[in-house]
Structure 1
Amino acid sequence: MRTRPRLRTETRWAYVFLLPWLLGLVIFQVGPMVASFVLSLTDYDLISSPRFAGLGNYAEMLQDPKVAAAIGNTAFYTVLHVPLAIAIALLLALMLNRITGRAAGFFRTVFYLPSMTPYVAVGVLFLFLLNGQAGLVNQFLGLFGIDGPQWTTDPAWVKPGIVLMSLWNLGTTTIILFAALRNVPRELYEAAMIDGAGPWQRFRSVTVPMISSALFFVVIVNTITSLQMFDQVYTMFFGSQSAQQSSGDAALFYVVYLFQQGFQFLHMGYASALAWLLFAIIAVITVIQVKAGNRFVYYESEPHGAAERETR
């Protein structure tokens, strides 16, 4: 049995090893968050000293039509992008799961490589691919007699074009779902086949429940990422004044507007208030997803709890 002095020594050393991480947490995360909240209560332009404004910035957001437009654009993109991205990533993961031998490693690498591409480079690339006159996307549609839309200038097609661009970066989601598929016991498929279940029945009754925890995770992560969409959109539509004028507010996503207020107009207090509103929105949506998702997620360590949830 370990003595108390030895336990105290081990505890002290544990804190010593945790100290670098704790310092990083306080200095680079907790500290800036506290400073941001304080600034959200002030009128601050980075030049003069902050002036206390109370809840004035938050009241101004309620009257700012740009905030409503940015939230609407971001919500539209999120609702369209998240289900489509997860469905395509799951299809790619199912394809990867069928590939065996030396080719398996090659295709895993190929599917993940797009995730390594810098977001700015992706934005520039798709600015050319989605060009309404000479873009490769519209040229491909023209092969089937389809007159492609003006992806980057028509406000009705700007957000679908951004969704199309975002599908380039599915590598991480695909690999997560592929890892979940690899952990599904083969015995379950064999038992389902003996019972006469077809491919769709096996997918619905075996595959989806067994990877539901991974699906739950990627839904939350992709939702949070979509609500913070910035790099590609800013590169495509706000890198030049002409592109911004042609697309209007159709590409004005929430984080883009936050960036403009903070670093273009130097309204740091207002930008901080916008950041805290985004934090609250993400927190509320995540809580709702967790509460709703736990009713449908199967955890292998809690088979009885999962069965009870299914019978409710």
Structure 2
Amino acid sequence: MPTITGGAGRYRRRLTPYTFMIPALIGLGLFLFYPLLSSIWFSFHRMHLVNLTQPPDFIGLDNWKFFFEDPNVIRAAKNTLWFVVIMVPMRIVGALITALLLNQAKRSRGFYRTLFYLPALAPPVAATVAFVLLLKPGTGPVNTLLANIGIEGPLWFNDPLWAKPSLVLLGLWGIGDLMIIFVAALLDVPVELHEAAALDGAGVWQRFRYVTLPSISPVLQFAAITGVIGMLQYFTQAAVASSVASGAVTGGGGIANTFGYPSGSTFTYPLYLYVISFGPRGLLGYASVLSVVLFVVAVTFTLILLRRFRTFLR
């Protein structure tokens, strides 16, 4: 059969890998780069959700100037950062400890894995509503049990000091998604490394620190990156918990007017973005600023974790 030789053949061989990338590039262009560039362009305009037929008005840097002067941004960013710093490490540590214990189980290992994984299958809205009802201060089963043993339970989702920790408890309850990944990673650690370390006199902690952790570091990195990105977009649980705990799910215009209850303690950055976008004023231009900043922060966190994560385990 004839073969392609010369410069034309080399050129075609070089282009072959890129032809397989075309579907992925089309998807990235349509669903990532185009929306991102559109958001950047809209951030320099005044746009109203209630009147989309009117052409956007170019206002320069006014939206960006207001962003740096908006006190709600600081409050929402602090709450979101709290979830990133507290919930992400706790979920990773909790899932890793659970996976280690499950791998040590001698009998019914599959049953316990299924039992711990099931909460991760619960729909976020249903799980949050159930948690709020379980932790209801007056009639909730948790505070009732605590009262029976002489402990006065906190107000949980109705207390600004306990609202965010209550959401952390909800996050820890659903660590099955991370746990099952860690279980697979731990099973993939070579037994020979543990045996060699034991022969050298390494204890349990030393084997975990210098054998297990380096072996599963790519999985830990993946869990950290996806966890941070998830917390930066933390919306559903905070919105549902604040609305249900306040007793008023929706307000005027179909938008929840209780976001952040109690006292703004659960008012995250994505909640503020939603309110600005679909609230009564519908400031889509300013919402574009918020979304662009959120994207930049997520990319920054991702790059830092990609470049520096392994040094944290040394």
Q: What is the TM-score normalised by the length of structure 1? A: 0.85
1:78 corresponding residue in structure 2: 84
Matches of 2:48 and 2:259, distance apart in 1? 24
Matches of 1:204 and 1:287, distance apart in 2? 25
1:284 corresponding residue in structure 2: 300
Unaligned 5+ residue runs, structure 2? 244-248, 252-256
1:21 corresponding residue in structure 2: 24
Q: Does 1:39 pair with 2:55?
A: no
Matches of 2:298 and 2:146, distance apart in 1? 37
Matches of 2:148 and 2:82, distance apart in 1? 30
What amino acid sits opposite 2:119 in the alignment?
Answer: P
Matches of 1:91 and 1:245, distance apart in 2? 32
Contact 1:96 1:108 in 2 (8 A): yes
Matches of 2:186 and 2:126, distance apart in 1? 31
C-alpha root-mean-square deviation of aligned residues, in Å?
A: 2.6
Candidates 185, 189, 193, aligned match of 2:190: 185
Query: 1:195/1:144 Cα in 2 relative to 1: closer, same or farther (>3 Å)?
Result: farther
Contact 1:153 1:243 in 2 (8 A): no
5 Å-filtered alignment, 1:242-281, equals 244=259, 247-264=262-279, 265-281=281-297
Matches of 1:178 and 1:85, distance apart in 2? 14
Matches of 1:8 and 1:14, distance apart in 2? 11
Candidates 100, 105, 108, aligned match of 2:110: 105
Unaligned 5+ residue runs, structure 1? 298-309
Candidates 28, 50, 73, aligned match of 2:56: 50
Question: Which stretch of the first structure deviates more once superposed, 111-120 or 274-283?
Answer: 111-120
5 Å-filtered alignment, 1:84-95, equals 84-95=90-101
1:225 corresponding residue in structure 2: 230
Matches of 1:11 and 1:187, distance apart in 2? 42
What amino acid sits opposite 1:39 in the alignment?
Answer: F
1:132 corresponding residue in structure 2: 137
Percent of paired sites with the same residue: 38
What amino acid sits opposite 1:132 in the alignment?
Answer: P
Matches of 2:89 and 2:149, distance apart in 1? 27
Matches of 2:295 and 2:276, distance apart in 1? 17
Contact 1:112 1:171 in 2 (8 A): yes
Matches of 2:298 and 2:197, distance apart in 1? 39
What is the SS of the residue equivalent to 2:311?
coil
What amino acid sits opposite 2:232 in the alignment?
Answer: L
Q: What is the TM-score normalised by the length of structure 2? A: 0.85
Cα distance, 1:55 vs. partner? 1.7
In the TM superposition, what whole-angstrom CA distance separates every residue of 1:25-46 from its partner, at most 9, and x where no partner exists? 2222221111111111111013
Query: 1:120/1:6 Cα in 2 relative to 1: closer, same or farther (>3 Å)?
Result: farther
Matches of 1:245 and 1:211, distance apart in 2? 37
Q: Does 1:293 pair with 2:309?
A: yes
Matches of 1:165 and 1:32, distance apart in 2? 32
Work out the number of aligned pairs and report it. 297
2:254 corresponding residue in structure 1: none
Contact 1:212 1:296 in 2 (8 A): no
